[in-house]
Amino acid sequence: MLKWSGAAGMLAVAAPMVQACTMPPPPPGTDPSGLVLLPGFSSRVIARAGESVAGTGQFYRWFPDGAATFADPATPGGWYLAVNHEVTGGNGGVTSIRFAADGTIVGAQAVLSDTSSNCAGGATPWGTWLSCEEYSRGYVWECDPTGAAPPVKRTALGAFSHEAAAVAADGRVYLTEDRPDGALYRFTPATPGDLSAGVLEVATGAAPGTLTWVPVPDPAASTTSTRLQVPGTTRFDGGEGIDTLGDEVWFTTKGDLRVWRYRISTAQVDVRYQAGGASTLDAVDNLWVDDASGALVVAEDGGNMELVAIRPDDSAVVLARIPGQDGSEVTGPCFSPDGQRLYFSSQRAPVGAVGAPLGVTYEVTGPFDTLLGRS
């Protein structure tokens, strides 16, 4: 109810009480952060919604969702973590947390505010964060994680229920739509690396099968919803996370628990992995491709609240479990630029002694190179 009712005013009143209260002890069998991890791994809480980010005065907004990391151009070895906040009513946005080379938090700031339902998104090769608004006329906002440049609304990428975005090797932005009959889109910039103008297309054809891309006549959806403008649009059951590696684009659909693979060179789309049933993966949501190993890191929306890595041979390993938070979902998996620190959130984790379901962001460290078989 808190996620969808737009109860921002009530949460604002609750925030001082949340910050003043002491957190209850973590559930039995978990580490001090309340996580279940593999031997050799440890965690820490990076930020709790309704409180200030540790070591800073930056208030951390509610419902943390999609996230990505970026190398800090001003600090060798340092990085930024950009985190969306899926809050309705113009209370969403993006928080950027700055880390020193040793992992110490040295700053935090809001790099996007006054937007709504900022769900997932994607990092660009040129170092910006694409924050996606998930509502019927939502937009994509391009944000500078350093805060040096103001955010820009990228209207050319269309007005629809944006979920996530990824820039592929062909220079195009591929976008998912979180609806039971959602579409898969791609945007071709008129100038490479510049999202101010270009052509928005939607996939048509059978899935699995060969996709054909057709231009969307009116990306602004001034008279007709974007997803209804092209006959024969391919329908995907709840498009979620998306990422790329080489010639391939990977994305998830939560309605049928699938991880899809689209090959740019052949325009073929197929089911890469089926979750549910006997699979370790109970549900699918945000997605991160670990470039060094080719593993897919998939967050569960519900299920048993696990973060699962699917290796190239389709074997699966649980990276973390968050017990006792059945009303939440795992969001925003991403590694630090050196691949040694894993970040993710529980979007509606309980905060404070009252257990307000506002969200917590975590960091996990350990022998990821060995676990994922990185070369």
**Rounded CA gap, 285 and 345, in Å?**
12
Which pLDDT band holds residue 7 (cuts at 50, 70, 90)? very low
Q: Is 336 inside a domain boundary?
A: yes
pLDDT at 345 exceeding the cut of 90: yes
**β-strand partners of 289:** 296
Q: How many whole angstroms from its chain centre is CA 361?
A: 12
Mean pLDDT of 200-229: 97
Q: How many whole angstroms from its chain centre is CA 83?
A: 8
**Tokens, residue 323:** 């017990």
Beta carbons of 122 and 137 less than 8 angstroms apart: no
Mean pLDDT of 359-373: 97
Mean pLDDT across the chain, nearest whole number? 93
Residue numbers of the domain that contains 190? 8-366
Q: Is 3 inside a domain boundary?
A: no
Res 149: pLDDT: 98
Mean pLDDT of 281-285: 95
What whole-number percentage of the chain has pLDDT above 70? Answer: 93
Q: Is 374 inside a domain boundary?
A: no
Which pLDDT band holds residue 25 (cuts at 50, 70, 90)? low
Question: What is each CA distance from 132 to 3, 4, 52, 94, 257, in whole angstroms?
Answer: 16, 16, 24, 10, 22
Q: Is 325 inside a domain boundary?
A: yes
Q: Is 23 inside a domain boundary?
A: yes
**Rounded CA gap, 178 and 204, in Å?**
17
pLDDT at 187 exceeding the cut of 90: yes
Mean pLDDT of 334-357: 96
Residue-wise pLDDT tens digits, 80-108? 999 999 999 999 999 999 999 999 999 99
Which pLDDT band holds residue 1 (cuts at 50, 70, 90)? very low
Res 24: pLDDT: 58
Looking up residue 321, the CATH number of its domain turns out to be: 2.120.10.30
- The DSSP result for 189-252, as a single string, is EEETTEEEEEEEEEEEE-SSEEEEEEE-S-TT-SSS-GGGSSTTBPPBSSEEEEEEETTEEEEE
Res 353: pLDDT: 81
Mean pLDDT of 265-280: 96
Q: How many domains does the chain have?
A: 1
pLDDT at 239 exceeding the cut of 90: yes
pTM: 0.93
Report helix, strand or coil for 369: helix
Mean pLDDT of 309-328: 95
Which pLDDT band holds residue 21 (cuts at 50, 70, 90)? very low
Q: Is 1 inside a domain boundary?
A: no
CA atoms within a 13 Å half-sphere pointing along the CA-CB vector of 112: 31
Residue-wise pLDDT tens digits, 243-263? 999 999 999 999 999 999 999
Q: Is 371 inside a domain boundary?
A: no
Residue-wise pLDDT tens digits, 39-57? 999 999 999 999 999 889 9
Res 303: pLDDT: 86
Res 337: pLDDT: 98
Question: What is each CA distance from 148 to 25, 98, 121, 177, 266, in whole angstroms?
Answer: 39, 13, 20, 30, 40
pLDDT at 36 exceeding the cut of 90: yes
Element (H, E) at 317: strand 316-321
Q: Is 272 inside a domain boundary?
A: yes
